[in-house]
Amino acid sequence: MIDATHDPQLRSWVESANAEGTDFPVQNLPYARFRRASGEAWRIGVAIGDRVLDLGQARDAVAWPGEVAALMGPLASGDLNTLMGQPIAARRALRAALSSALARGSDLQSALQRCLLPQAAVEYSLACHIGDYSDFYTGIHHARAVGKLFRPDNPLLPNYRWVPIAYHGRTSSIGVSGQRIRRPNGQTKGEGPTPDFGPCRRLDYELELGLLIGPGNALSEPIPIAEAEQHLFGVTLLNDWSARDIQAWEYQPLGPFLAKSFATTLSPWVVTMEALAPFRRPFARPAQDPAPMPYLDSDSNRASGMLDISLETSLVTDAMRRAGAAPVRLAASNSAEAAYWTPAQLVAHHTVNGCNLRPGDLLGSGTMSGPEAHQAGSLLELTDGGKRPIALPGGEQRTFLEDGDMVIMRGWCERAGFVRIGLGEVAGTVVPALRS
């Protein structure tokens, strides 16, 4: 639903929010959990330009309307999950209040000016408590490219076009941008008769979107697809770190386990589904593909089910960092081109057996690779399974990640007639394995 908060004429009294190309204009208003790097209590903030509006302070600085004040209570003490569990009308009311408070001409400006902090001066935790994490596999170009490496004659399995494929992920090792990723040790199988044990030698990233759940459902009460959008709270960037050599040996028959569970990194800012309203696309299938089953089909899903988010991955190696070199872009893609299933279809599918989703649960989109080889969202694809190294500025090469490498992912939305919004970035740095 597009409303006054998306008005492209809207400007903020926070001048950096009006800068060309900012991720955080007044039309965005994403949430993060933060504190000043001084051991203070965590609270929820809203990004505006290069500042954070501290909702811990803002709640008390202004006489908010009753409903908005009630919603801000938990946010002031660092709890986003309570807001996530609210009906969509409440989430919209808070967004509308924040939008008019931060817009030019607001009479709250002088009171709220004192509640702003520079983003450069704060640290983040994960935005919410994540109870459960499921990682989907909606990137059809990724699924086909990876399938081709493992099964040249049969890259896409027959269930792919019928079932949104997923596995249960691990929540305990999810961290926020800036995370240091310890290279995992594990079993790998080379050409020899028996497996080896030691540090992963094919460490990779996967460029994904993280979908965070809103109210959710009671056990054994599926969410119909027509209601699924109301149960989505917002979107983050997600790096699904992957140990390809461990994965290749362990993944059959039950799917990846230790190849994935050592780390997942999220961007700090949660961009709400409300902010993303202008950046939706129709869901469409090639004519020769099967139509989704009725429980995965709805008018609104067909009209606007897809998210249209531009994505890119960059790399900085240790040597580049020491030389002061800028990050090098490895690939770029778009979620509307990459995904075979929509967020609403994932919610409907996940709950169709009665499984309950709770506020703050995380769904990974799967790797968002575009149709072309240079649009791949993982090194496995970009290097054709490690066979074609990537040349980096400064003369280095990469097939998979080396110690000291920092992977940076960014996302943003653009559409004529609307103000560009961004998801910020998710970064993580590989550190050496423990001695095995």
Give the active site residues: 142
Would you say 23 or 381 has its CB closer to Ca ion?
A: 381
Would you say 135 or 274 has its CB closer to Ca ion?
A: 135
Vertex 23: Cα angle to 269 and 58 (nearest 5): 55
C-alpha to C-alpha distances, 68 to 45, 62, 86, 90, nearest whole angstrom:
15, 11, 12, 8
Say which DSSP state 292 is in.
P
Ranges of beta strands (E only) in 335-433 are 362-364, 390-391, 397-398, 406-413, 421-431
CB of 110 to Ca ion, least distance (A): 47
| Residue 79 makes contact with Ca ion by CB under 5 A | no
Would you say 28 or 342 has its CB closer to Ca ion?
A: 342
Would you say 206 or 250 has its CB closer to Ca ion?
A: 206
* Residues 406 and 205: beta-carbon distance below 8 Å: no
| Residue 381 makes contact with Ca ion by CB under 5 A | no
CB of 367 to Ca ion, least distance (A): 6
Question: Residue number with the shortest CB distance to Ca ion?
Answer: 240
Given phi > 0 = left and psi -120 to 50 = alpha, else beta, which region is 410? beta
Would you say 100 or 261 has its CB closer to Ca ion?
A: 261
CB of 252 to Ca ion, least distance (A): 17
CB of 136 to Ca ion, least distance (A): 8
* Bridging pattern class, strands 174-176 and 264-266: parallel
What totals of helices (H) and strands (E) does the chain contain, helices first? 13, 26
Would you say 261 or 300 has its CB closer to Ca ion?
A: 261
| Residue 54 makes contact with Ca ion by CB under 5 A | no
Q: How many residues bind to Ca ion according to rule CB under 5 A?
A: 3
Footprint on residues 176-215 left by Ca ion (CB under 5 A): 206
CB of 369 to Ca ion, least distance (A): 11
Would you say 122 or 166 has its CB closer to Ca ion?
A: 166
Only one residue has tokens 């995370």, namely 179
Tell me the two tokens of residue 2.
Answer: 């597009």
Vertex 53: Cα angle to 49 and 59 (nearest 5): 155
Would you say 135 or 312 has its CB closer to Ca ion?
A: 135
CB of 244 to Ca ion, least distance (A): 12
Footprint on residues 112-141 left by Ca ion (CB under 5 A): 135
Q: Which stretch binds Ca ion (CB under 5 A): 163-171, 238-246, 396-404, 427-435?
A: 238-246
**Type of residue found at 122:** V
C-alpha to C-alpha distances, 303 to 108, 213, 292, 297, 306, nearest whole angstrom:
38, 22, 14, 11, 9
Say which DSSP state 283 is in.
-
Only one residue has tokens 């769904």, namely 363
Question: Measured in Å, how far apart are the chain's first and last C-alpha atoms?
Answer: 54
* Residues 205 and 240: beta-carbon distance below 8 Å: yes
| Residue 240 makes contact with Ca ion by CB under 5 A | yes
Residue 4 in 3-state DSSP?
Answer: helix
Q: Among 285, 283, 313, 314, which Cα is nearest to 300's?
A: 283
CB of 350 to Ca ion, least distance (A): 15
CB of 172 to Ca ion, least distance (A): 17
H/E stretch holding 36 reads strand 31-36
Burial of 278 (C-beta count, 10 Å sphere; 0-12/13-18/19+): middle
Vertex 265: Cα angle to 73 and 30 (nearest 5): 35
Residues in touch with Ca ion (CB under 5 A): 135, 206, 240
